Amino acid sequence: MKLTLKIWRQKNANDKGKMVEYKLDHVSEDMSFLEMLDVLNEELLHKGEQPVAFDHDCREGICGMCSLYINGHPHGPLQTTTCQLHMRSFKDGETIYIEPWRAKAFPVVKDLVVNRSAFDRIIQAGGYVSVNTGVTVDANEIPVPRETADLAMDAAQCIGCGACVASCKNASAMLFVSAKVSQLALLPQGKAERKKRVEKMVAKMDEEGFGSCTNTGACEAECPKGISLSNIARMNREYFVAKLSSNNL
């Protein structure tokens, strides 16, 4: 395959940045998207040029690091992570546009790398269980309905990649935050702190500069793990109930 790549290049956070065009030949359709970028970087290094900086880690669709905006879609044309996207999804001779996430809360560090530590700070604000649960109990000691357990596990699949933010025209983090709120609020271990948790996490989300929900559903459509919008509805209910009895009005 022969490809034309138009990639966002930005030296640092203060650089203006621009799209730069590269030609790439002999691309195998069996390559992953990140392997294709590895090939490009090898060619750039041989020419004495700076390689393209991009985030990656596990390359197994688990860690959520591979945050690339490809041809107008987070992670590319398929509902999967960038590392699990293969070049067979593109055509010979195609022009591919590759950009970083675009959000105020995700400032560009270099080229395609953005700082997503805002997600970490939201988790630190309340996305955990801090109460002492005592010694390990038998698996069936605390009965949890199968449907509730399934919903909690579905929410827990969120890998924090930020595709929901990148796909939203308001750069909202509601899907991410609601998934983290839901996975704990649904289970008995998380109920003791459910009110404080949702208040703190929503407050931190707003503080970090994320926008409000657009209700268009783009986040769910682009999420590589298919996190449901129903989690946002659940978070809104949790927040409303928490505020009714809160001192932080």
Residue-wise pLDDT for 143-172, tens only, equals 899 999 999 999 999 999 999 999 999 999
Report residue 96 as tokens.
Answer: 């591919």
Residue 220 lies in a domain: yes
Judgement on whether residues 237 and 144 belong to the same structural domain of the protein: yes
Q: What is d(CA 62, CA 83) in angstroms, rounded to the nearest whole number?
A: 10
Judgement on whether residues 146 and 131 belong to the same structural domain of the protein: yes
Q: Which residues of 218-236 are buried (b: 16+ CB within 10 A; e: fewer)?
A: bbbebbbbebbbebbebbb
Q: Does the pLDDT of residue 71 top 60, yes or no?
A: yes
Judgement on whether residues 148 and 173 belong to the same structural domain of the protein: yes
Report residue 173 as tokens.
Answer: 């983090």
* pLDDT tens figures, 41-64: 999 999 999 999 999 999 999 999
The domain that contains 127 carries what CATH number? 1.10.1060.10
The domain that contains 94 carries what CATH number? 3.10.20.30
**pTM of the entire structure?**
0.93
Q: Check the CA dihedral 207-210-215-220 and report its sign.
A: negative
Judgement on whether residues 45 and 91 belong to the same structural domain of the protein: yes
Please provide residue 99's backbone torsions phi and psi, each rounded to the nearest 5 degrees: -135, 165
**What is the radius of gyration, based on Cα positions, of the chain?**
20
Judgement on whether residues 131 and 230 belong to the same structural domain of the protein: yes
Distant-in-sequence, close-in-space partners of 150: CB < 8 Å, separation ≥ 6: none
- pLDDT attached to residue 249: 54
Q: What is d(CA 234, CA 230) in angstroms, rounded to the nearest whole number?
A: 6
Q: Does the pLDDT of residue 248 top 70, yes or no?
A: no
Q: What is d(CA 227, CA 209) in angstroms, rounded to the nearest whole number?
A: 22
Report residue 79 as tokens.
Answer: 């509902």
Report residue 186 as tokens.
Answer: 């649904």
Categorize the per-residue pLDDT at 93 as very low, low, confident or very high, splitting at 50, 70 and 90: very high
Tell me, what DSSP letter sits at residue 89? G
* Residue that finishes a domain, picked among 81, 110, 139: 110
Judgement on whether residues 53 and 140 belong to the same structural domain of the protein: no
Q: Residue 200: how many CA atoms within 13 Å on its side-chain side?
A: 14
End-to-end CA distance of the chain: 59
**Averaged confidence pLDDT in the chain:** 95
The total domain count for the chain is 2
Q: Domain limits at 39? A: 3-110
Q: Does the pLDDT of residue 76 top 70, yes or no?
A: yes
- pLDDT attached to residue 245: 85
Judgement on whether residues 47 and 124 belong to the same structural domain of the protein: no
Q: What is d(CA 13, CA 220) in angstroms, rounded to the nearest whole number?
A: 29
Judgement on whether residues 175 and 87 belong to the same structural domain of the protein: no
Judgement on whether residues 104 and 133 belong to the same structural domain of the protein: no
Judgement on whether residues 38 and 156 belong to the same structural domain of the protein: no
Residue 153 lies in a domain: yes
Judgement on whether residues 138 and 41 belong to the same structural domain of the protein: no
